[in-house]
Structure 1
Amino acid sequence: MSIFSNYAYVFFVCEGKNEEAALLWIHENHKMGFAEENYSLDFMRTRGRKSWDKLRNQCFQFSYDGDVAVFYLLDSKREERENLRS
């Protein structure tokens, strides 16, 4: 059972290029562990305020028939991301 099975849809966001490369490798090699139609890589380069606003709108604009998660991939404990529900 995957942690992602708790969500109807998952958006992935990456802190930098290393995380993007790792996530793309996992995706391209079909190692994600859940169905491709249940997640999006469209916002993985979300870094600025405007792109976070677009992601927030996307999360709340549609019904996903369940909970939606945003997984923020980073390689440093010092990195943080604001709460999307502001």
Structure 2
Amino acid sequence: MSELPRYEYVKLADAIAADIAAGKLPQGAALPGERAMTELHRVSIGTVRRAIVELRKRGLVATLPAKGTYVIGMPESSSDAPEAGEPNA
């Protein structure tokens, strides 16, 4: 069986999350503006907006009205996640 196709906004969110994890976008850093991201990643503005929503759901960024979108967290690594049946510390 082949892998299910991923939506473009998920691919973009994953790429930005990887940049955050690698330290290319440290905590407190502003993400590029929506228009700049459309040109940089060659995607539509809708894709950029959905990717930002996805990153907010993951707790990685926060958007401040009329200010921009900023990194507020780091992606959780799978090694930090509790194992099934393991209590949360």
Normalised by the length of structure 2, the TM-score is 0.30
Tell me which structure has the larger Cα radius of gyration: 2
Q: Which has the higher contact order (CA 8 A, sep 6+)?
A: 1
Normalised by the length of structure 1, the TM-score is 0.30
